Structure 1
Amino acid sequence: MSGFPRDARVTWNIRVRSLLFFLLYNLAGIIHSVICVLIGPFLSFKKRHLLVNLWTRFAMWLLQRLNGVRFKVEGREHLQGQAAVIISNHQSSWETFYLQLLVGPQATVLKRELLWLPFFGWALALLKPIKIDRGKGRAALKAVVQQGEDRLRSNIPVVIYPEGSRQPPGSIGHFNSGGALLASRSGFPVIAISHNSGDCWPARSWLRLPGTITLRVSPPMDTRNKDAKTVTREVKHWIVTNYPGELDKMDND
């Protein structure tokens, strides 16, 4: 299995390095977010994206140097074409950061509560995210389709995590149909992404574990004349069959 073995012993060295990462990452994020809020509104969207993600680049550099986490991307060339709906599995915050560097500028579908977070949420609001209220199912779906199509027609890729919440390493959860519906109705292609970020950046944990995060990118998938259910099934099949490791659990949609 790629990445850090899930049953391996977490040493004090790993704990100390993880704590240092947590402190430096958050301190830099607070300072940088204030700068972004002060400067960002006066910049173009593209320059705003570059400014906000200076912190992302620092976090990824720190993760490699301090915590021994390596990144491997397969299929990077598939992200260089036209705007597309990018659908990824979700295990940690790592992919939400790293995909900003691989695909930018982009519009990310996210729950609106994230924009209320002091500092980080304020900077995130500068990036034209598609914010939804997950408690309002039909209205949230409508927002994804309407706002998403507007971004796509402006040549801005839309990134969505259909599982909604982060899954444990080696698990693939239920996929909601928002991203697939956007793609099938707009006619834009889908690009699927499969990764094992939870092996090194476990959800709801401050630990950062040494190892390799592998991220695999599919070729663009044609969505014309396909309904959302078909697109969801095809995307999930690609993510499952290309998962970089052993799958312990998979939700059978």
Structure 2
Amino acid sequence: MIPQHIDGVFPEKFLTGDMYRSPDIQAGVVSRMLPSLSFYSRLFFGPVRWLCRRAARGLCDDAAWVYASIWTTDIMESMGCPVEVEGMDAISATDGPCLFVANHMSTLETFMLPGIIHPRRPVTFVVKKSLTTMPFFGAVMRSRDPIVVGRVSPREDLAAVLEGGVERLKKGISIIVFPQSTRSRVFDAHRFNSIGVKLARKAGVPIVPLALKTDAWGQGKKIKELGPVKAGMPVRYRFAPPMRIRSQGKEEQAAICEFIAGTLAAWQARDGMNP
């Protein structure tokens, strides 16, 4: 299913109150037998090609970004992967911009989150520099005015996030940050740095913790972004209520980690350990 695109208008797929659950969609024969081939062929010849062409002409606006994001979600659902999003009221619970702090499991969340969040409030990402310079898709990322980090010097990255983050938050643009050093199916609080808390404290904005489970799109061995796709595996997101940073933010950092770890454990108990 391809979402209807109307210039300047956001699709309403995730404007469903506090929760979204996929309808019951069964994967087709090709998707079950050749899930990765089925998914990537539709992804790259569908929303990726469409959005890159618009970006090359300077037409990658907010509505187009959301449209391509939701198109990707529709493709994932057609693979028999049910999508569940909980706590969406938290996205718009604050008057001004906020910081979404999440675990980072796969490439899927970077494709899906614009469609979930942006219809409710403007948002951008903290991204590594290579994503803004790659052929075709780099134009898409640059059009989103992201905060760019080099992933070489932690000190320089922190300065870039603090400076660029405050600048965008002052303009009313919320930010999605993944404090883990790399994508991982396993959440390790010791590798979940406090860069989100530091930015929220400096800018005086609230944090919305976000737990996600997106390993239906796995990591590749040679190219991380092109891992195996597992038809039928659930995709889950859960937003927690906004929190303000008090004092140095150590308690809030611990609460974020506890929320993510606890949510992932509950999902694992419900779904079982996926291969």
Q: TM-score range by the shorter chain?
A: 0.7 to 0.9
CA distance in 2: counterparts of 1:120 and 1:208, whole angstroms: 24
1:155 corresponds to 2:172: yes
Unaligned residue ranges in structure 1 (runs of 5+): 1-10, 42-47, 249-253
In the alignment, which residue of structure 2 is the partner of 1:32? 51
Give the alignment of 1:78-157 within 5 angstroms: 78-81=90-93, 82-104=96-118, 105-157=122-174
In the alignment, which residue of structure 1 is the partner of 2:87? 75
Q: What fraction of aligned residue pairs are identical, expressed as a percent?
A: 22
- Which digits, 9 at most, give the CA deviation of each residue in 1:214-247, with x for residues without a partner? 2111000111x33244432221111112224238
Q: Which has the higher helix share?
A: 1
State the Cα RMSD in Å: 2.1
Offset of residue 13 of structure 1: 5.3
Offset of residue 15 of structure 1: 4.1
Q: Is the 8 A contact 2:126 2:161 kept in 1?
A: yes
Q: Is the 8 A contact 1:22 1:206 kept in 2?
A: no
In the alignment, which residue of structure 2 is the partner of 1:21? 39
TM-score normalised by the chain length of structure 1: 0.83
CA distance in 2: counterparts of 1:98 and 1:172, whole angstroms: 23
CA distance in 2: counterparts of 1:38 and 1:107, whole angstroms: 20
1:242 corresponds to 2:263: yes
Offset of residue 128 of structure 1: 0.7
CA distance in 2: counterparts of 1:25 and 1:110, whole angstroms: 21
- Which digits, 9 at most, give the CA deviation of each residue in 1:22-74, with x for residues without a partner? 11211221343022220337xxxxxx121133222211111112x11111111
Instruction: Give the 3 Å change call, closer, same or farther, for CA 120–15 of structure 1 in structure 2.
Output: farther
1:54 corresponds to 2:67: yes
- Which digits, 9 at most, give the CA deviation of each residue in 1:187-209, with x for residues without a partner? 211100112111x2222213232
Unaligned residue ranges in structure 2 (runs of 5+): 1-28, 221-226
The one-letter code sitting in structure 2 at the alignment partner of 1:91 is M
- Which digits, 9 at most, give the CA deviation of each residue in 1:110-160, with x for residues without a partner? 111111111112111100100011102111101101111111121111100
In the alignment, which residue of structure 2 is the partner of 1:5? none
The one-letter code sitting in structure 2 at the alignment partner of 1:59 is T
Number of residue pairs the alignment of both structures matches? 228
TM-score normalised by the chain length of structure 2: 0.76
